[in-house]
Amino acid sequence: MPSTDRSRRRGATRGAPLVRLRVGFVVIAMVLSFFGARLVQLQGMDPRSYASMAAAEGAVEVPLLAERGDILDRNGIPLADSIQGKMVWADPTLTEDEAPEIARLLSDRLGIDYFRTLEALRGRKDGSQFEYVARRVPSTLATDTVAELEGLGYEGVGLEDDPIRDYPAGDVAANIVGYMGTDEPLGGLERTFDAQLAGTDGVATWQSNSRKGVRIPLRESTIEAPVDGEPLRTTIDRDLQWFTQKVLAQAVDRYRGESGAAVVLDTRTGDVLALADVPTFDANEPTEAREEDLGARSMNLAYEPGSVEKVLTVAALIDAGKSFPRQRFKVPSSLMRQDRPIGDWFDHGTIRLTLAGILAKSSNIGTVLAADAFTPVQLVDYLQRFGLGRRTDIGVRGESPGILGAGEVMTSQAKDRVAFGQSLSVNVVQMAAAVNTIANDGVRVDPSLISGSATTDEGVVVGTDVATRTRVVSRRAAQGTARMMERVLDPEDGVAPAAAVPGYLVAGKTGTAQRVDPECACYRGTSVSFGGFAPADDARFTVYVVVHAPQVDGGGGSIAGPVFSRIMGYVLGRYGVPPTGGTPSRLPVEW
């Protein structure tokens, strides 16, 4: 054989292993590339699409529930929080055959409905491997119950975290905070700020043996972790809220009132430190309360404020240069206006009162005579600047804006009634904020229930960060009105000595107004109130109290005044506000 042919054969023999090695490397690289691409797809690019595919192949999807954000008072104390709980779930492919026995044990231990449990254990959906059995179960109870089932040889019942909403102080601030159903908020801040509080649930998905329901090792699975909700901090002082509710409840009970409300404002910031409603409810047991007690009457119920409104009329008159504290008026026993007489709450002949005396004695006739200096348009314009006729937007659902007629179409007769607090309506915080304007030297500061800022379910941003300040009347007008309001509590000349706080100068005003009964579209019963601030010469807090439909004789001074006194005394002491040592007002009442 020629030497050249032998050389070719030896070269071919040597080249063959190299070719096979190269081909092998290519194959290995292709396989590794395939697995690498698959890994990227599963773990990095599209876990949701994989979860959908896995579900179609009989995968089990278990929700991972987010923990709801806490609702806190101004000091970070929880008004609502979440405690550890469990959901009990079942795989019907494992529980169907022994469903009656398992359902009986679960219903006995957990106190849940037997027939609904039986339905879940048998499967509500074709081929389902996940069904809820019980929600929001205390962890120890749920764990012990499932352990008992396993000990008896039953399979297919599992647990996952399911936080339980808890209201540590029961009924304290329940009218504001609201309450939860099984899966959704049903009232109060819980509902208004649900988007912030709720968080986002996650889901765990894995593929299981369709006959035994057990997770298959080494098969693909995904976990989308839950994102917990964010906390919501309020301006409420929990301890002050508790005290305010307690004192108000005692008064409503004592005077057999239909309901009552009270609010405490920080005069300078407008922070709502307490907002109480009576009757209220335990937020942990909302189903045990009457439906009408589940909301915030203080915000949702519009009523006529009565004579507390007179301080707004008087301050506006002084600001406009149309009156002054020592101005003299002859006040007749009755005043005929158009076809109706206007009278006072007390019988008298013609008396001589100053503007300060009109306020101290709470004379409707005198207020109307003073307000004759205003047109309806001028009076309404001032009241709108005080915040009447529009919502405060502090973040409470269903807030009433109240009713304040347009000055352009208001009759002089209607203007007379509005001047002393009838024929208009307000809510409690709205009226408190108006009185607080006098306390704050004529500057209205928006009341706030939320510390910082938050967005309501209506898309409104509320809170201390966005509160505005508006000059309504001059400092001179506000301070002059405050000095006249001091005379309301004078034991000799005023109508509300029971509202005094020992050691402090207090400015205030009573209110007794007829109540509108929607059933008869007529006036029936009264709402009695007292609003004021202290120290009168350097105000720190404003308190406003109203009791609706008391069943005893009395007015704002005798019924609401003592409630005001106790609440104001408590808040001044709690925040360490010392008496100013100022001289009480001696403005003349009569001339």
Specify the 3-state DSSP secondary structure of 115. helix
Nearest to 311 by CA among 429, 437, 413: 437
Does residue 250 fall inside a structural domain?
yes
Q: Which of 333, 310, 319 is nearest to 422 (CA)?
A: 310
Does residue 259 lie in a domain region?
A: yes
User: Quick one: DSSP state of residue 256?
Assistant: T
Q: What is the per-residue pLDDT across 323-337, written as a single tens digit (0 to 9) for each? A: 999 999 999 999 998
Tens digit of each residue's pLDDT (9 = 90 or more) over 239-281: 999 999 999 999 999 999 999 999 999 999 999 999 999 999 9
Whether 582 maps to a domain, the answer reads no
Boundary-marking domain end, from 121, 139, 162? 162
- Same domain (yes/no): 284, 428: yes
Q: What's the one-letter identity of residue 175?
A: N
One domain for residues 158 and 262? no
Q: Contact at 8 Å (CB) between 206 and 219?
A: yes
Q: What is the mean pLDDT of residues 316-325?
A: 98
Return the CATH number at 141.
3.30.70.2110
Based on the domain organization, do 267 and 156 belong to the same domain?
Answer: no
Side-chain-side CA neighbours of residue 258 (13 Å): 12
Same domain, 384 and 290: yes
Q: What is the pLDDT of residue 223?
A: 84
The catalytic residue positions are 307
Same domain, 263 and 148: no
Where residue 297 sits, what CATH number does that domain have?
A: 3.40.710.10
| Least confident stretch, 16-30, 354-368, 393-407, 466-480 | 16-30
Taking CB atoms within 8 Å and a gap of at least 24, the contacts of 432-435 are 432/263, 432/265, 432/531, 432/542, 432/543, 432/544, 433/265, 433/270, 433/386, 433/387, 433/392, 434/312, 434/386, 434/387, 434/388, 435/308, 435/311, 435/509, 435/531, 435/532, 435/533, 435/542, 435/544
Helices 310-319 + 376-385 axis angle, to 10: 110
Q: How many domains in the chain?
A: 2
Characterize 147-186 residue by residue with b for buried, 16 or more Cβ atoms within 10 angstroms of its Cβ, and e for exposed. Answer: eebeeeebbbbbbeebbbbebebebbbbbbbbbbeeeebe
Average of per-residue pLDDT across 85-90: 88
Among candidate residues 132, 162, 192, the one where a domain is terminated: 162
Which stretches within 470-528 are classed as H helix? 475-486
Range of the domain at 456: 238-574
At 46-67, the pLDDT tens digits run 545 544 444 445 567 778 888 9
Instruction: Say which residue, 33 or 438, is predicted with more confidence.
Output: 438
Q: In this structure, are 150 and 251 located in the same domain? A: no
- Residue 32: its pLDDT value, please? 64
Residue 481: inside a domain = yes
What pTM was estimated for this model as a whole?
0.84
pLDDT(573) > 90: yes
C-alpha separations of 226 from 66, 162, 192, 223 in Å: 5, 12, 22, 9
Q: Helix (H, G, I), strand (E, B), or coil: what is residue 339?
A: coil
